[in-house]
Structures are given as structure tokens and as C-alpha cells.
């Protein structure tokens, strides 16, 4: 063990060969809770995250009393837990029932630190229209959850699209059968003019429409947060100025719908569509979908087959508590999922694997190089996928402390080819070695190549109702 802000960090039983300093969040949290239980002196803490419209999510845990020297770890433990809750469940008002001094420190963190202000700005202000607010209370509001049926509408002539950071996908479907699909390379991240994005979306839709006798509905997915088809937060538009974002990007999909004579159109987070695609194809629920692409997308289908009001923005969820872990380029925070389940992870591990590629080579091209080496049986490439599999195992165990899980679906460009099987194999190895109670409960799934190409688009196309 070593200490990070007095938090005991645990060396994993399964250590990635390319990342020996990896210290899983799940092991640190469980060690902290085990010490609390053994002490018999835990102080209850209830975190109630409020989104609005009466939607409140509860999470219960404990901390050490201030008289215990181990209480120095309380703040780091709670801040990382709350980080997970903010980016998975979402909310802007945090009702804190527990030691007042910890509520005060959390409020100061979100106002006075760069990473705290990032969480407050993106999750609080941009997603829920309020900066994060921490309220100390002994009477938190009751929990209230909202879930709604999503998709599974396959009737008629539909177009489904998915907007990624390196390509955009589109499919034309008739009664659930794909009659046309296409992937087009594009570069949306740092484009300052949203007309580039609008024209790209329209181009894909028009190409799909040619293969249909008519268009009854359009469904889409993209990284980000969308409320009533309005863009709240989306990395695809990170190059657009705040002024243009408000005036043009927020309603860009309403503009698309208008261009298509206001036919039914629905756009949601790509991770939600990932989970929906898995639920539809597997006939199973309690699914966490994780897409390993340009970034990390997440989605969740509950036991009833519905999505919830949770935002499931897993890219910013903490995974690694190593104080020297890789930092996210956007938030500046260290050890978040985006550096472990994405093309960025592959690019990060390439030097450690001893693979030489030009530093200026774009990440999608670096991934292709690694995939070619993997196809050729190169041990260096294999170790990259083995590392990602190890990350996934500990990441899924971490998620199981927050989600009701029975199935995990992974897909995305990083999982293409034989590397995807290695990722699953590595994750299963971790669960068997560290979390046997989860190994027998959680099943991993990876779609075949046909499902990867079409499943996401068909699920997206099924989002709108036509009646």
C-alpha cells in the first residue's frame, strides 16, 4: 500500500504489465470500508443528488470520526465517490447528511479548485443549469427515480446515425432490417463553425434516404448530454465558441428535424444507445454498455428494460487512484476512464509497449497500427489489449458498487478484431482473481462484426415513435 491524501491504495492482484503503478479505485474504496467496518465506529453519510423535477438519487456510505487518525482519508474518499455519482447519475444540488466539516470542504472544492470547478461547470451549470451546490442537512429529500421506455420501435422506414469523434455512421432501415449503411471519416472536434457539423449530419442522412421509399423517423446518438433533443454538453462541438454554441449548437438537431419536415426525431447519448442495442440483441436487461472509441461512452438499461434519468457520462468517472495517473486533457483530472477505455488509452500505452509510431500520428491511425500488429500476432500489441482488459475488470467491479449489474456490453473501435476478445478475457480474469462474487453474476458480451456495424444504428433508428 501507499498513501494518496492519506487514502490507502491497494496493489492489484492482477497488474497490467504496461502500467505497474495502476491502483484501482475499487480496491481502495473497499479497503477503506473494510477498515471502517472493523473499527465499528463509522459515521453514516447520505449523499442525495437532486436533478430537478423532484428526481433525487441516494447513495449511503460511512466515514471515520474526526477523533480517528484515519479520518484524514475521509475527504478524498467522499470526493471521489461523489465524482462517480455526479458523472454517472447527475445532479446539481447535493444534499449532504453527515459531518458538517466535510460538507463545507466539498463546497469549497467545487468552487475553489480547477477540477472541482470543471465538475461544477459541466455537470451543474451546463447539464442542469445551476452550479453545484452542497447543502448540509439532517433531512435530505426522499429518493425519487424516473425511468422511461426507450426505442425498440422498428416499424416503417427509418434512419439511424451515430456521431463519433473520428467518423459518423448512418444506416437506413425498413421494419428493422438494414438496407444501407455507411461510415464516413470526419474531424468534428476542433471545427469552430457548427455549419461543418450540420452539413456532415445532413450529408449522411441524405445518403441513407436515397435507399428508402420514404423517411418516417430519424434517430441518432452522439457523445454528450441531450435533453429534449437539445445539446447540453457534447465534446463533438468543443471547438465551437460559447456564443456560437448557445446560438447554433444547442438547437442543431431541432434544425435538422425542421429540414426533414418535422418528422419524429430523437437524439440521445451514444452510450445509452450502446446499452439499448445490447438489450435488444441479447434479450437481456441490467446492462451496462461501454463504448471504447475516441472517448469513453456509457449507458445503462435497468431491470425493466428502460433507461433512467442518470447521465452515465463514464468518461470522467475515476478508475485509477495512482496520484501520477494519466490526466484527462479536458478536465485535468487524473485516473478517469477516458484514459483507460478509448483510443487515448491505446496511444498512451504504445510507448510502454515499445511500439514506435510518429508522435504526430492521429490517434485513429495509431489504433490501426496496433490492430495490424495484433492481427500479425505481435506480443507488444497483445500487451496493450491485456492492459485494457485488466482495467475493464477493475472498472466493472467499481461500477458494480453503483449499478445493479448482470451484463456488460463492450464495443467501439478499440474492441474491433482479436483485441476485443483479449479485453473480455482480461476482465474475466480480474473478476475471478479479485471479485469471485461478481465473476459468477456478471456476463460480458461483445457483438460480432455485423452487430457492431449495424446494431448501434438500428437501435438509434428505433428511438422515435411514429404514432
pLDDT at 441: 96
pLDDT at 164: 84
- Supply the pTM of this predicted model: 0.87
β-strands 167-174, 177-185 pairing? antiparallel
Backbone angle region of 63, left / alpha / beta, with phi > 0 → left and psi within -120 to 50 → alpha: beta
Instruction: Give the CA angle between residues 294, 298, 300 to the nearest 5°.
Output: 160
Question: 164-173, pLDDT tens digit by residue?
Answer: 888 899 999 9
DSSP 249: I
Q: How far apart are CA 408 and CA 446, in angstroms?
A: 9
DSSP assignment of 259-274, as one string? Answer: HTTT--EEEEEHHHHH
> What does CATH list as the number for 273-458?
3.30.420.40
The CATH number, out of the four listed (3.30.360.10, 3.10.129.10, 3.30.420.40, 3.90.25.10), of the domain defined by the range 148-269: 3.30.420.40
- By residue count, the chain amounts to 467
Count of CA atoms in the C-beta half-sphere (13 A) of 38 = 7
Going by C-alpha positions, the residue among 349, 246, 439, 325 that lies closest to residue 17 is 349
Q: Which residue has the cell 486533457?
A: 329
Q: Which three cell numbers stand for residue 298?
A: 456509457
What are 289's strand-pairing partners?
299, 409
Q: How far apart are CA 62 and CA 336, in angstroms?
A: 23
Q: How far apart are CA 462 and CA 92, in angstroms?
A: 31
pLDDT at 391: 98
61: helix, strand or coil? strand
Let me know: does 373 contact 379? Beta carbons within 8 Å: no
pLDDT at 123: 94
pLDDT at 291: 87
Q: State how far the alpha carbon of 113 is from the alpha carbons of 125, 136, 215, 257, 320, in Å.
A: 16, 20, 49, 40, 20
pLDDT at 228: 82
Low-confidence ranges of the chain (pLDDT < 70): 1-5, 147-150, 449-454
Q: Which three cell numbers stand for residue 389?
A: 482488459
Q: Which residue has the cell 459518423?
A: 168
Q: How far apart are CA 283 and CA 305, in angstroms?
A: 9
Q: How far apart are CA 129 and CA 426, in angstroms?
A: 40
Interhelix angle 379-399/25-39, rounded to 10 degrees, is: 40
pLDDT at 270: 82
Backbone angle region of 377, left / alpha / beta, with phi > 0 → left and psi within -120 to 50 → alpha: left
Going by C-alpha positions, the residue among 290, 406, 383, 322 that lies closest to residue 12 is 322
pLDDT at 2: 43
**Positions of CATH 3.30.420.40 in the chain:** 148-269, 273-458
For the chain, the straight-line distance linking the first and the last C-alpha, in angstroms and rounded, comes to 59
Amino acid at each position: 500500500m501507499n498513501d494518496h491524501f492519506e487514502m490507502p491504495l491497494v496493489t492489484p492482484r492482477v497488474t497490467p504489465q504496461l502500467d505497474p503503478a495502476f491502483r484501482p479505485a475499487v480496491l481502495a474504496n473497499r479497503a477503506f470500508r473494510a477498515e471502517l467496518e472493523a473499527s465499528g465506529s463509522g459515521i453514516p453519510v447520505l449523499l442525495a443528488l437532486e436533478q430537478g423535477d423532484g428526481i433525487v438519487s441516494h447513495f449511503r456510505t460511512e466515514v471515520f470520526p474526526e477523533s480517528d487518525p484515519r479520518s484524514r482519508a475521509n475527504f478524498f474518499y467522499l470526493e471521489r465517490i461523489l465524482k462517480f455519482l455526479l458523472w454517472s447519475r447527475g445532479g446539481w444540488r447535493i444534499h449532504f447528511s453527515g459531518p458538517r466539516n466535510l460538507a463545507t470542504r466539498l463546497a469549497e472544492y467545487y468552487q475553489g479548485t480547477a477540477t472541482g470547478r470543471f465538475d461544477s461547470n459541466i455537470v451543474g451549470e451546463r447539464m442542469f443549469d445551476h452550479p453545484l451546490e452542497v447543502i448540509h442537512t439532517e433531512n435530505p429529500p426522499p429518493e425519487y427515480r424516473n425511468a422511461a421506455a426507450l426505442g425498440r420501435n422498428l416499424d416503417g422506414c427509418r434512419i439511424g446515425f451515430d456521431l463519433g469523434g473520428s467518423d459518423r455512421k448512418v444506416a437506413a432501415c425498413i421494419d428493422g432490417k438494414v438496407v444501407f449503411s455507411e461510415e464516413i471519416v470526419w474531424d468534428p472536434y476542433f471545427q469552430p463553425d457548427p455549419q461543418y457539423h450540420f452539413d456532415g449530419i445532413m450529408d449522411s442522412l441524405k445518403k441513407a434516404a436515397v435507399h428508402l421509399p420514404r423517411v418516417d423517423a430519424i434517430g441518432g446518438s452522439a457523445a454528450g448530454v441531450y435533453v429534449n433533443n437539445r445539446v447540453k454538453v457534447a465534446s463533438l462541438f468543443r471547438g465551437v465558441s460559447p456564443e456560437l454554441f448557445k446560438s447554433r449548437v444547442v438547437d442543431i438537431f431541432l434544425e435538422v428535424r425542421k429540414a426533414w419536415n418535422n418528422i419524429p426525431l430523437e437524439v440521445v447519448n451514444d452510450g445509452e444507445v450502446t446499452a439499448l442495442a445490447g438489450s435488444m440483441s441479447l434479450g437481456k436487461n441490467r446492462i451496462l454498455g461501454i463504448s471504447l472509441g475516441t472517448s469513453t461512452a456509457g449507458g445503462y438499461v435497468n431491470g425493466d428494460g428502460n433507461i433512467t434519468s442518470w447521465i452515465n457520462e463514464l468518461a470522467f468517472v475515476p478508475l485509477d487512484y495512482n496520484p501520477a495517473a494519466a490526466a484527462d486533457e479536458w478536465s485535468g483530472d487524473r485516473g478517469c476512464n477516458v484514459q483507460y477505455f478509448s483510443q487515448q488509452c491505446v496511444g498512451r500505452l504504445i510507448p510502454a509497449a515499445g511500439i514506435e509510431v510518429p508522435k504526430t500520428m492521429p490517434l485513429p491511425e495509431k489504433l490501426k497500427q496496433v490492430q495490424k500488429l495484433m492481427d500479425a500476432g505481435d506480443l507488444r500489441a497483445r500487451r496493450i489489449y491485456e492492459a485494457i482488459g485488466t482495467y475493464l475488470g477493475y472498472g466493472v467491479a467499481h461500477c458494480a458498487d453503483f449499478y445493479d449489474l448482470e451484463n456488460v456490453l463492450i464495443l467501439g473501435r478499440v474492441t474491433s478484431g482479436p483485441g476485443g476478445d483479449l479485453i473480455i478475457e482480461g476482465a474475466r480474469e480480474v473478476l475471478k482473481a479479485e471479485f469471485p462474487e461478481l465473476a459468477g453474476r456478471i456476463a460480458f458480451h461483445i457483438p460480432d462484426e455485423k452487430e457492431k456495424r449495424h446494431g448501434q444504428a438500428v437501435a438509434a433508428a428505433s428511438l422515435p415513435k411514429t404514432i
